[in-house]
Amino acid sequence: MKKNIIKILLIIAIITVCIGAKVYADYIMNASEVEYTKSDSTKVSVKAALDDLYNKSQQNVNVEEFFGLELSQTILGLAYTGTQTITITNPVNLGIEVESSDSTVATVTKDSDTQITINALSKSGNAVIYVRVIGASESMKIKEINVTVWDDSVGMPISFAKTIDTSNIRKYQGTQVDYNPEGGGVWRIFYYDETGKYGDGAGTIYIKRDYNSSTTVKRGSYTNYYTNSSNKSEVLADMQKFNPQWSIGDGSIDASNENIASYFCYHGAWTKYVESGVGEYAIGSPSVEMYIDAWNQYIGYKQFAYKCVEKGTALEYYTESSNGSANVNAYAYAPAKYSYSTTKLGTVSVENLITTGANSIFMTSGSSWWLASPNCYIGSSMCYVRR
């Protein structure tokens, strides 16, 4: 009975917009004594309900406000020929209709009154998907879905990357972005820093360049990078920024692999990889902390942990509880001036866990690649990802 009343009220609201206030007023003169019970158990007269509907109809009625209509997404990005299903919360089962503002960029199909499918075509651009109640006027539009379509060989526009739904960041990790610095390369979304842990503010997205064997760095060339630097304060600040656990120590850089790590971390050494007006800065590689945080984000739970160990720590296994239950596989690293203890990654070697998913942003097609953190196993070695 309640659903029928709501449908009747919608019809009356539409009629009153069309035929004007005089007819509306004539119609409700005898409705002040008739009551019905609302969903919150309060009672209201039909006249009062119609008054409310009529007043709101003069201010572009928002149908969603009355009927609980809600879309699962209102901002959507798709590569060429990509497809996305959008679900619709439709508690009173209203009939809906859909339309695309530009069917050469994206088309939309109504699967039911609670689901629609959006299909990207092979054309870059933007389209707006409109979802309306059948029979409702233009002013009674329910929702708009803003769709951006791009050529996957070019990459996601940076402008869209800034608007992505980061609550579902795993979906976008590994997606190529349209980023073109002097140093070239293919760049992909790597990590979303929700809290600002790495010093660039909450909500920062970090992108990573695909491995390229033609631009490798010989670590032996930078064993005194910080020691011989003329701007030690900036180099140290970046080293601490990307290795927050390491920075808890005495804050000094004196071992060879700490010097090398500081080179990878220092933004001033990698300026040719910054596209002016797009990227803020570039560094040589993610630290082991950011790498593991990014991997856990991609997996969706805490699979790996890390800990910077100090002198005298006889550490062969470092385990950490995840969600108060199962242990996670954990990696330990240390300032190289401390004693080097052989450190294992839990009971399972990392190469058996890291996959080539997310377009291989975690495991490259090359051999090993360095991370911007000192290794606690060999005094001159960096943390690295081994294929």
pLDDT in tens, the chain (387 residues): 444 333 333 433 333 344 444 444 454 455 555 566 666 677 767 667 666 655 554 444 455 455 678 899 999 999 999 999 999 998 888 899 999 999 999 999 999 999 999 999 999 999 999 998 887 666 666 789 999 999 999 999 998 998 887 888 998 999 999 999 999 999 999 999 999 999 999 999 999 999 888 888 888 899 999 999 999 999 999 999 999 988 877 678 888 888 999 999 999 999 999 999 999 999 999 998 899 899 889 988 777 777 776 543 443 334 445 544 444 444 455 443 333 333 333 344 455 567 788 998 988 766 678 899 887 666 677 887 776
For residue 209, tell me if it sits in a domain: no
pTM over 0.85: no
Is residue 250 domain-resident? yes
The residue type of 243 is: N
Looking at the fold, whether 50 and 120 belong to one and the same domain comes out as no
Cβ atoms of 123 and 105 within 8 Å: the answer is yes
In this structure, are 270 and 132 located in the same domain?
A: no
Residue 160 lies in a domain: no
Q: Residue 223, SS3?
A: coil
In angstroms, the CA 134 to CA 111 distance is 15
- Answer yes or no: do 233 and 292 share one domain: yes
Domain boundary among 127, 150, 173: 150
Tell me, yes or no, whether 284 and 357 share the same domain.
Answer: yes
Q: Helix or strand or coil: residue 305? A: strand
- How does DSSP assign 260-308, residue by residue? HHHHHH-GGG-GGG--TTT-S---SS--HHHHHHHHHHHHTS--EEEEE
Q: Are residues 38 and 79 in the same domain?
A: no
Domain with 228, as residue range(s), is: 214-385
- HSE (CB half, 13 Å, CA atoms) of 201? 3
Residues 229, 315 within the same domain: yes
> Do 222 and 357 fall within a single domain?
yes
Task: Give the C-alpha separation, 274 to 294, whole Å.
Answer: 21
